[in-house]
Chains A and B, each alone.
Chain A
Amino acid sequence: MSIFVDENTKVIVQGLTGGQGRFHGLRNRDYGTKVVGGVTPGKGGTDVDGVPVFNSVKEAVEATGATASFVVVPPKFATAAILEAAEGGITFIVCITEGIPAHDEAITYNRLVEEFPGVRLLGPNCPGIISPGKCNIGITSGDIALAGGPVGIVSRSGTLTYQALHELSQKGIGQTTCVGIGGDPVPGTNFIDCLRAFQDDPETKAVMMIGEIGGSEEERAAEWIKLNMTKPIVSYIAGVTAPPGRKMGHAGAIISGSKGTAQAKMEALAEAGVHVCNNPTEAGEKMVEIVKAL
């Protein structure tokens, strides 16, 4: 099995007619994802390489029965697109947009929680989600993933996720689902949401968790792991040498005062029984060792 998305997930792409939307949307379709429509206001009735375009999410959902949406629109319009998706009946929204103001994210997150409690937002500023062999929504290259499990991956970073997928695939170890939760300060989906889903997924036998400096989601995850997680977890946290007070590429990757350091996160996770590794390669090797012993 996989978490959040599978071979039956029908996806629309908000922003399909744009350069990025077209590129990634069609790549996702070519991977085998059921990309059933696109949404661009004013361009309803046209198509992108055979994928029908609708004027609104509501129309697209009514016509196609889509339940997931891939939001690929510029920062200025992204939060409106997310809310339109929720209002239109979408229940799983993936937003890859980087550069959304934190205040807009905070308002959007809370509106989703209050008005659309059944909706899950992944991102913003994330690479998306891939259940290898079944469904790929986002910008992850399908080639580097390997179907069949047994590893679930959850990560705040894009390239480090690719690195993890690649290392495992090269060693013949597949993945159930790989979720990029993104590097922004207000992520719609957090580590705990993914860990809980992996814990409940019978095909996922072990989890790779990639964190980074900033915030305290890793520490909260550690608390949750201690009480709930029975499957082995390998973790790597980026930013051990990052200077405080600087945003390290991701808007959420910042050490504020003494808060959000990699050291604190690594200690909390180690204390919760997680295998904490010092670099991505070491984490890959550790996971191979664990999977072989399963």
Chain B
Amino acid sequence: MDLFEYQGKQYFSRFGIAVSPGDIADTVDQAVEVADRVGYPVVVKAQVKVGGRGKAGGVKLAQDADEVRLHAGNILGLDIKGHVVHRVWIERSSEIAKEYYASFTLDRPNKVHLGMLSAQGGVEIEVVAEKNPDAIAFLSIDPVRGLDLATARRWVDEAELDQPAREQAAELLVKLYDCYTTGDCDLAEINPLILTPDGNVHALDAKVTLDENASFRHPEWEEFRATETEDPREKMAKEKGLNYIGLDGTVGIIANGAGLAMSTLDVVNQVGGTAANFLDIGGGANADVMASAMEVINSDPKVKVIFVNIFGGITLVDEVAKGVLEALGRVSISSPVVLRLDGTNAVEGREILAPHLSDKLMMEPTMLDAARRAVAFANA
């Protein structure tokens, strides 16, 4: 789960990481109120989960209430790469002497944690990595041993942060690592981490991705979940406990297993169609799950056809077939449905559906055939 910048900063604060004082606002009036409270000058920052906000006009400096009114008015409702701004973060403007970069993430190939620290912050780290890889100090951290202050001190020396920043930065990095590990982040990134002219180090931005597998030990994540997605289809799927990702195409997809669901998207694409979603109904799917899945896909106005792709392993295909019938009886489905059923008890499953086949409910013997048929409907 990706957090908004303001949520990331609030999360950082819990671990003692210094951020600029500020607050959120959903309206122009609120923005002025917050700005009056934190003190001018302030920065008005669009809260969207996409990079390049500054270039899109989503980050503005305001010297007084009139400027806050002007900028907040322009930014709220602004479309940044398809993300509409509904909320801004107002914070006290910081004077910047230097901009650094710091992050922790999992080094998957080596199965350890990877810290990245650079004295060249404020730009995308991918760009630094490409143009000047020596400007990044990489640190491999054994997850069993963790990161101590002595190592963090050597690390800031190696990254050649400015002398006045080093001790504070080392302390902040230990806190950021704590946030990353005990806070169960997939990514904890600060860009830029700044040094102010009066010698203070703090986080001017926050990019945090939480590991949803750890939700069971973080009840406090509930508030982040409420703002997680704007997509009404994803909201509905989430309420129904489905593993759903909304996409832009016209072929609605239901499959069992993440790999098969991904593969179904690919095959639809290969035969000239576009998927409307990713949806994995998981193992042992019953009629309820199938009905919920069909309901969510049916709510998508772009969907022209539903492709159900099932390979029974532990999931029994005859159970899936019963589920499809029950779902069709329970939910009024506007699009035609193309099925491909294979694996355990596939023969029984196909027999169950045979009497119900029509020009609205079709079955094909293979994944490719079914994809072609579905795409023919979608593109008709």
Contacts and interface: CB of A to CB of B under 8 A. Distances in A.
A217 B109 CA distance: 7
Contacts, number: 171
Contact of B143 (A106, A141, A183, A213): A106
Contact of B311 (A99, A159, A243): A159
Nearest to B247: A243
Interface in A149-190: 155-163, 166, 183, 185-186
A243 B266 CA distance: 11
Contact of A253 (B144, B262, B268): B262
B313 A141 contact: yes
Interface in B298-312: 311-312
A257 interface: yes
Interface string A203-246: 00000001011111100100000000000000010111111011
Contacts of A214: 108
Given A157-B258, A186-B106, A242 B270 contact: no
Interface residues of A, number: 65
A278 interface: yes
Interface stretch (A47-55, A57-65, A109-117): A109-117
Interface in A248-273: 248-253, 257-258, 262
A155 B144 CA distance: 28
A144 to B, nearest CB: 7
In the complex, which range does the number of interface residues on chain B fall in? 35 or more
A109 B258 contact: no
A238 B263 contact: yes
B283 A102 contact: no
A220 B214 contact: no
B142 interface: yes
A246 B255 CA distance: 17
A279 B367 contact: yes
Contacts of A139: 283, 313-314
A134 B214 CA distance: 37
Interface string B166-182: 00000000000000010
A216 B261 CA distance: 21
A102 B216 contact: no
A156 B262 CA distance: 12
Contact of A110 (B108, B142, B261): B142
A280 B106 contact: no
Given A101-B184, A101-B213, A279-B266, A106 B113 contact: yes
| Dominant secondary structure of chain B at its interface with chain A | mixed
Interface string B97-113: 00000000010110111
Interface in A57-115: 75-76, 99-104, 106-107, 109-111, 114
B86 to A, nearest CB: 20
A289 interface: no
- Most chain B CB inside 10 Å of its own CB: which residue of A127, A159, A241: A159
A275 B378 CA distance: 32
Interface in B133-170: 142-144
B214 A239 contact: no
A215 B313 CA distance: 27
Contact of A107 (B109, B144, B255, B343): B144
Contacts of B144: 107, 110-111, 114
Contacts of A161: 259
A73 B261 CA distance: 25
A183 B112 contact: no
B216 A76 contact: yes
B352 interface: no
Give 3 nearest A-B pairs by CB, closest first. Answer: A157-B259, A249-B258, A159-B257
Interface of B: 2, 106, 108-109, 111-113, 126, 142-144, 181, 184, 186, 211-214, 216-217, 243, 245, 247, 255-263, 265-270, 275, 278, 280, 283, 311-314, 342-344, 366-368
